[in-house]
Structure 1
Amino acid sequence: MVAGLVIAAPASGTGKTTVATGLMRALSRSRAVAPFKVGPDFIDPGYHGMACGRAGRNLDSVMCGPELIGGLYAHGAKGADIAVVEGVMGLFDGRITPGTGAVAPAAGSTAEIAALLGLPVVLVVDVRGMSQSVGALVRGFATVDSGVAVAGVILNKVGTDRHEAVCRQAVEDQGIPVLGAIPRVDDVEVPSRHLGLITAEEHGHAAESAIDAMAALIRRHVDIDAVVRLAAEPAPSTEWDAAAGVEKRENVVVAMASGRAFNFAYPEHIELLEAAGARVRRFDPLTQDLPECDGLVIPGGFPEEHVEVLAGRGRLRAQVRSHVEAGKPVHAECAGLLWLVETLDAHPMLGVIGTHAAMGRRLTLGYREAVALGDSVLFAAGERLVGHEFHHTALTSGRAPGWDSAWAWRAWSGETVREGFIRGNVHASYLHVHPAAVPGAISRFVGACAQVPQKVM
C-alpha cells in the first residue's frame, strides 16, 4: 500500500485546498502523487488531477460505505510514490443522521476517512485573529478522538515574523510539530462560482498558473521533506476491482458527454463501463456531434454557464432526440437532467422531458437515502442507495407527462420526496451516485445498450 497523509482543517475556508493542491504539485516534481478528495466534490479533484497529472479521486464513505474506502484508496494510489488526501469542511464535520445528534468522527468526515485508512493528519490552521490560542485549538483537535492522529500543523495567513513565532511556539508546546507558516497572500485563489470553484478544465491556463503559484508558496514556506516523513502506509486492504462480478458484453459503444459543460464524472464510472465491455467515446456537446453509439451518459457540470451555445446546437439536439426515440439507453445526472428538459433559463434544451429549469438563489445540498421507484436501465424497483444532491437550479415541476419518478426519499421534515424521471430507456435525476457503490447499475446499463434497440418512446 502506498504511504499517504491527509490535509485537513478546523473549518472550511482556512486554505486547505490551496495547501493540498500546492503540495500535490510540489511533490509531483520528483514523485508520482496520487490525489484524493474526501466527500462527493467534483471540482477539487479536477485541480488535483491537473496538479498531479493523474486522475483525482473521491473517498466518500457515505455513498460508498466504509468498507470500500481502503480498496478505492489502493486502486487510486496504484503505481504512485505517495498519496495526498484533501479533507472536506472541518476535520470532524460530516453527515448527521436525523435524531442522532453529532458524532465524532461523523460519517463521511475527514476524520473518519483518516481513521479508516490509518493515515496521519496535517492540520491547516488560519491564524488570523489569534496567537497563543492556536495551541489550545490544535490540542483540542489532536485529543478529541484517539483514532485520529494529528501529526503536524501548517500555519496559514500568518502576519509578522513575531506572529509566526508566537503561534509556532503555542503549537509546538502541545508536542505537535509546525511544518510550515504561510503568509497572507491574495494571488493564489481560484475564482469562485455559485457551486464553489470554477472547474479546472474550464479555467484552463489560469488554473495551471494558480496551481503553480500554490506550489511555489508551499515550496517557500513549508518543509516538504518533513511532510513526506510523516506519510504512513494505510491499513491493509484489497484493491477495488472494477471488473469484479461484472458481466462483460461485446461490441457496445457508450458516448459520454464531457468538456466544459459536463465534466462532473467520477473516474470509476468509465472504468466500470469499460469493465462491463463498453468502449467509451467522450465528446464535447459544445463543439462536437454525438458519436455513433449504443448508449449515452450525460454527467453533471455547468450547462447553465453555456446555455446559449447548447441552445444553438440544433444538429446535436436532433441527434440526441433520435437516440432517445430509437430506444437507446440514456443515463443523465444533474446537468444531464437539465440538458434533457424543455428549457434552461428560458433557453431551449433538448426537449426530451416536458418540464423547465432555471437558476435560483437556493442551494439544494445533501446526501439522500433513496429508493428506486421503478425498473429502469440502471436500477430495479426497490433498490436502495445513498446519493448526493448539489445544485442551484430548480425545475418548474418535478413531474412530466408520460414520465414516472425515479426516486423517493424522506426529507428532514419527514415528508416523502419524489425526484427524477424514468421512461423507456431513459434515467434522469438530480441525484449523483458514486458508481463504485453501484457496479451492478453500470453493468445493467451496458447490458441494456447491448440489446437490439426497440422504439419505446
Structure 2
Amino acid sequence: MVTPRLVIAAPSSGSGKTTVATGLIAALRARGLEVSPHKVGPDYIDPGYHSLAAGRPGRNLDPWLAGEGRIAPLFLHGAAGADVAVIEGVMGLFDGQGDTGFASTAHVAELLAAPVVLVVDAARQSRSVAALVHGFATFEPGVRLGGVVLNRVGSDRHEELCRSALESTGVPVLGVIRRDDAVVNPSRHLGLIPAAERGPEAVRTVERLGELVARSCDLDALLRLAATAPPLPGPAWNPADHVMPVDGDPVVAVAGGAAFTFSYAEHVELLRAAGADVAVFDPLRDEALPDGTAALLIGGGFPEVHAAELAANEPMRDAVAAFRGPIAAECAGLLYLCEELDDRRMCGLVPGRARMASRLTLGYREAVAVAPSLLTRAGERFRGHEFHRTTLAGGPQEPLFRWRDGADGFGSDRITASYLHLHWAGHPEAAQRLVSSSRSPSVLR
C-alpha cells in the first residue's frame, strides 16, 4: 500500500514550516483522515505539536542519527495505517550536516520520493518571490517542488503581486496565509516551549493552526499532490528485528512529565521488543519509582526550567540516588543525575555541577566510546547530537566519549550519562544492553 506524503520545507528557519505542518496535520485530521506526522532532523519539540495535532506519535527522520538506509523503513513503520503523511523539514530545504546536503530536508525528500511544498515568508517582497522559488525548484534535479505556500502576506494586493510573479515559475500556489500574530507559539532559550508543558493552551494553539491552514490552503490540491508519491521499496522497520527479548518482563522506568519531554518513539518500542515492561514516571510529581523498577531511562528535556521543583521533590531524588540498577541518561538526564543544577541539589550519582550558560551547544557528533559503560564498549562509534545551554563543571576526569573537537560523558558498569542524544533506531544495541543489564547488571557484553 502506498502512503500519500508531503514534505513541508522552507528557504530558511523562521519561515513558518511548523505553523503550516502542524496546521495541515490538524486540518486533515479534522476532515476525518488518519495523518502520520514526521520531522526531519533531531528536533524533539516540533514532533510534540505534531503528535497533539495527529493523535499519534510524531516521529523523526534523520539520516545522520539513524542511517540513510533506515529512513524509508522508519517512515513506513511510523506511517502504518495512515491515510496521508506530513513530513516537516528542518532549517532551509538544502541545509544539511556541515557544508553538505546530507541529512537535509532535500535529502530526506529524495529518500522518500516525496513531493515538496515550500513555505515562503513573503513579507517585505513581491516579485522577488518568483526568483527565490525558481532557484529552489531548479537547484537539485532530484527534488520535486510541487507547490508553494505563501506566508505572512499583508493584503489582497500583496497576494495578487506574488501570485502573478509565480506564474512564470510553473510552481502552483497551494496556500496563502495572512499575517496573524495570534497563532505564534511561545519560545524560550532552546526554541518553542514543548506542548507537554503548555497543557490545554497547546491544544488551543493546535486547533487555531488547523483552522488557519484549513481556510488559507487548498487541502484538496495538497492531498492530490501527496498522492503522486510512488510506492517505497522494501519492508517497514520492525523493532523486533533488532533486539532479542529477555525473560521476566523487567520494568524499565522512563522519565516523563514536563521536565523530560525529549524522546523518540522508537526507544520505547525497542525496549518493549527487548522484553521490557515500560512504565513512565514523573520526577517532578511522583515520590517513588514504579513498582518493581529494574532499570531507568532518563532522557532529554528542560530540567533547568524546573530545577527548583526537581530539587524540592526530595523523595524522588532519594529514590533515584538509592537505586542500584542500570541507568541510561542523556542531556537532561545527565543534569538530573549530577550533584547540582544551578546551585540546586540533584541526585548526586554523577560527579559535577551544572549551570546555565550564555552559549548554545548544538550540532551533530561522531563520537568514540573510550571506555566501557552500561551502553558502550570501548572503541565503539556512535552518531549523536548535542542540544543544550548548560555546562558541567567538576565532572568525571575521564570522559566516556570523545570526538574531533570535544569530549563528554560519564560511564560505569551500570550508568551511561552524557549530553549526547542518540537515536536508538541507529543504535539498537543500547536498548538491548539496558534491558539485558536489568536482569544481570554487572555483566558488560
Aligned to 2:394: 397
Partner of 1:284: 282
Normalising by structure 2, we get a TM-score of 0.96
Query: Gaps (5+ residues) in structure 2?
Result: none
Structure 1 counterpart of 2:221, one-letter code: A
**Cα distance, 1:175 vs. partner?**
0.7
TM-score w.r.t. structure 1 length? 0.94
Query: What's the secondary structure of 1:441's corresponding residue?
Result: helix
Aligned-partner residue type, residue 422 of structure 1: G
- Deviation of the 1:314 alpha carbon: 1.5
CA distance in 2, matches of 1:440, 1:353: 23
Q: Residue 233 of structure 2 corresponds to which residue in structure 1?
A: 236
What secondary structure does 1:294 align onto?
A: strand
Alignment of structure 1 residues 206-217 onto 2, 5 Å:
206-217=201-212
Cα distance between partner residues in 2 of 1:33 and 1:455: 43
Give 1:422 shift. 0.5
Q: Which string of whole-angstrom CA distances, capped at 9 and with x for unpartnered residues, describes residues 261-287 of structure 1?
A: 011110000000000000001011111
Any conservation in 1 of the 2:353–2:395 contact (CA below 8 Å)?
Answer: no
Q: Which position in structure 2 is the counterpart of 1:423? A: 412
**126-135 or 236-245, which deviates more:** 236-245
CA shift at 1:237, angstroms? Answer: 3.0
**Structure 2 residue aligned with 1:407, among 401, 423, 433?**
401
Counterpart in 1 of 2:220?
A: 225
Aligned counterparts of 1:250 and 1:343: Cα–Cα separation in 2? 37
Question: Is residue 296 from structure 1 mapped to residue 290 from structure 2 by the alignment?
Answer: no
CA distance in 1, matches of 2:317, 2:207: 39
Residues 300/281 of structure 1: CA separation in 2 closer, same or farther (3 Å cut): same
Whole-angstrom CA distance in 2 between matches of 1:318 and 1:160: 59
Residue of structure 2 in register with 1:351 after alignment: 348
Match of 1:384 in 2: 381
State the number of aligned residues.
Answer: 437
Match of 2:428, as an amino acid?
P
Q: CA separation in 1, counterparts of 2:161 and 2:318?
A: 66
Write the distance in 2 (CA, Å) between the matches of 1:454 and 1:36: 38
Any idea what the Cα deviations from partners look like across 1:225-279, whole Å, max 9, x if unmatched? 1011000245323200101141110221100010100111100000000000000
Change (3 A) 1:205 1:233: farther
Cα distance in 2 for partners of 1:454, 1:427 equals 14
* C-alpha contact 2:61 2:108 (8 A) present in aligned 1: yes
- For 2:41 and 2:231, the matched residues in 1 are separated by 18
Stretch of structure 1 that moved more, 154-163 or 330-339: 154-163
The residue type equivalent to 1:94 in the other structure is: G
Q: How far apart, in 2, do the equivalents of 1:107 and 1:40 lie?
A: 13
8 Å contact 1:4–1:233 — kept in the other structure? no
Within 2, Cα distance between the matches of 1:165 and 1:63? Answer: 43
Alpha-carbon distance in structure 1 between the residues aligned to 2:442 and 2:24: 52
Higher mean Cα deviation, 208-217 or 30-39? 208-217
2:374 corresponds to 1:364: no
Structure 1 window deviating more from structure 2 (140-149 vs 350-359): it is: 350-359
**How many Å separate the matches in 2 of 1:455 and 1:58?**
32
Residues 334 and 430, structure 1, Cα contact 8 Å, conserved in 2: yes
Which structure 1 residue ranges, 5 or more long, are not aligned?
97-101, 412-416
Is the Cα–Cα contact under 8 Å of residues 437 and 443 in structure 2 kept in the other structure? no
Residue 455 of structure 1: how far off its partner (Å): 12
Secondary structure in 2 matching 1:44: helix
1:266 equivalent in alignment to 2:264: yes
Identity of aligned residues (%): 52
Which among 176, 184, 188 is matched to residue 179 of structure 2? Answer: 184
Amino acid at match of 2:272: E
